[in-house]
A and B are shown apart, each in its own frame.
Chain A
Amino acid sequence: MTATVPNSIGAAQAGSPPKDRGGAARVVAGGLDLGQTASAAGLEAIVGGIDPRLLAAQAAPAAPGSMSIQNVSCYYGAHLAVADVALEIPGRAVTAFIGPSGCGKSTLLRAINRMHEVIPGARATGSIKLDGVDLYERGIDPVSVRSKVGMVFQKPNPFPAMSIKDNVLAGLIIRGARPRGSAADELVERCLNRAHLWEEVKDRLKKSGDSLSGGQQQRLCIARAIAVQPDVVLMDEPCSALDPISTLAIEELMRDLARDYTVVVVTHNMAQANRISDITAFFSLASAGQPGRLVESGLTADIFSAPKVAATRDYIDGRFG
């Protein structure tokens, strides 16, 4: 059963160049496969005699939905929880945040769609750019940020007062833009299909989401998140409350989602990070109460086979925490 996961990863990576070329270059190559504008840029670069890798180093990443985190620090009141993170998140790929508890990876994840500041007293500084637009710029509405950057939580949380169908449509219903008739049916089917849940629930769309298993509920939450057409899907330990079979289903789904969305996932499961992610970012903290910091990030294969920092190696080998 576990064999299917590496297979699906292999498939996702088939179109990509070898992993040793550096994250940014690979992103551009990914963009060449996917986007018209990206391939035009690449062509220009080649015609101009510029190495595409160099272009990638200079210019904005090509795949849509790519993010650039710069100087981001997160606070709870006066307490500094995450200090000065700089990280490039490639578009349409899976990026995993790993690290010990309290290292701020979930906090940083919540800062990406400005959910961090929902907690009273919490705030974040620095800049997080999505396709070049700074989400923390003055005048940017956090509500609109969240519709572009969706989120899936640790515990499956379908809305209990809504049917399965309405859960998928929830984002639109809450905004007072409930689609009706065939438009609604199509959207529901498309999102549930996308979340690998359609076949299991198509006969009971009117039932409450409570009637589903934990793994199904989590996939329903993913369908709900993508129904509002975000560019990025953030997942905060989405499998930690699930059994291995459900976890496997979600992992396959994450790989699949990365074809259309930028996926950022926080996980405590090292093997999972290794299986599903293209990029891994390792966070750690000096000691309890100290702010969490980004220790190292890079291609997942590199991080897991040849980490540059000793702390990363210790953590991955299980000699830490």
Chain B
Amino acid sequence: MKNSGWGKIIPIVILPLSIILYIVFTYNSDVDRDYLASSKIEIKHDSIPVDHSKFEILQKDFKTGPEVTEACLSCHNGRGKEFMKTEHWKWHKVDSIPGRGNFDLGKKNILNNFCIGVNSNEQLCSMCHAGYGYGDKNFDFNNQNNIDCLICHDGTKKYKKSNPCKGPNLPGAGAPDIHVDLKAVAQSVQLPKRNNCGSCHFTGGGGNNVKHGDLEMGLLSAHTGLNGDIDVHMGVGKDGQNMQCTDCHKTHNHQISGQLYSVSSSNKNKATCVECHTGKPHKSELLNEHFKTVACQTCHITEYAKIHPTKIIWDWSTAAKMDKNGKPIFAKKLPGNTYTFDGKTYTDVELEYDSRHGTAVLKKDVKPEYIWFNGTANHQLITDKIKDTLHPLVLNPLFGSYKDNYMPADSLHPSKIWPVKIMRGKQPYDKENMTLVQPKLAGRIKGSNALWADYDWQASIKAGMDYLDLPYSGKYGFIETQSMWPLNHEVSESTKALSCTECHNSTDSRLKNLSGFYMPGRDHSPWIEYTGWIFLVLVLLGVTVHGAIRIFSNKKMKH
């Protein structure tokens, strides 16, 4: 057909449209999720190793820890005074709580919902004190010879402290195990490695990975399957960098950077991702935009407790119960793999009962919970009144909100969405004074009022509170508590990071519990949604009916 126009359809419609679509579909540099080439990260160590085995002063047979320390300090002049300023030694620090003021916080003064508190339990707790002899509140924090250098600097991997709960309580609180060859250890000293830090930090709460969830013995070696999928920094196998803790937790004069909000409240002395990775780590602008509202950890720590399970619930209220023979029950695995607590059912869990600890719920490969967090926290101090027993008491509420993101009180530290482990449990409190209480737990001697020896809550709490010189009404109960553990470790390699739809998802968003803001893909206005779809259905229906009548009436006309 002449002049029908079909001939020009290719140059006029198809060709330009194809070119435009080609550009639209290929212009997509943003989709590249690689790191920027300019931010290649180098790990530098600024210390030269010295062979301590050649030093004459370390050639003698050390009988006690303080002897070794004395030898160390004879060369490392002034380091003792330096170390005694650190929290690893003091176990307390003055920290500011926004809106409340300065308080003496730190490990010694804060209660948690694992082993509850240090006070009156120092004999056991000091297993992780970088010192010798911290057996009670009378410990001399000013004697530098009581510093335990070896727990951090041991290079033999054989140094350990004695456990007063296992075997006779010898040779004393925080002292080296009697089987340790102190001479060999002293000669092996080096910069701390993962096993040094891990000896305490991986086993907090009474066992491997019990406390943090993202710090576990599995992070020590490849034998546990440790690789870049588990932790891209500490991994030793595929894609792992085999980094040491101090590579990130930069240390100057024994002040180690990094803190956690179980014992801290202010936004300082942190070891952060951006120190190495900058605030724009991705090539993709779209991903970099997320930096403003989302912590790196949120996308890059998709799960924690990847090798060993972590404790997620600790119910002290069932402790001190005996079996039918009147004997205590020890570390009994309970049947079943689900557990319901505070109205929520946890699946794929391990359940354990022990008369000393009560009920424990452990879980592996846990998905984090998410909160808005600006880097500051409050604390339920032992002297603080409990105002609400109907809801779980949060021991360390983390400050933050969506509003604090776009209108931050501190513009350098706006709230971001963070992944946290929320530890849940029930712990004793004073029903009359409405305060938390410090029970005396640790001890093997019957009649010492230690819960683990006498199985008597009343006596245990009274002993603990008396030890602290705090009032106790004599009426205790158990209150549901939560503690917040922001996650920082077990960062997966980049390809394992969360996909967009894990959060931008209308049905099963990881962030479904965060409200008060609009998130694309997650949030809809039900009103617009219903009206919109009804509108479209009506339009479709309208044209269908109109078309049907046209076809019908056309046929009728032809007959």
Physical interaction between A and B: no
Which chain A residues have a beta carbon within 8 Å of chain B's beta carbons? none
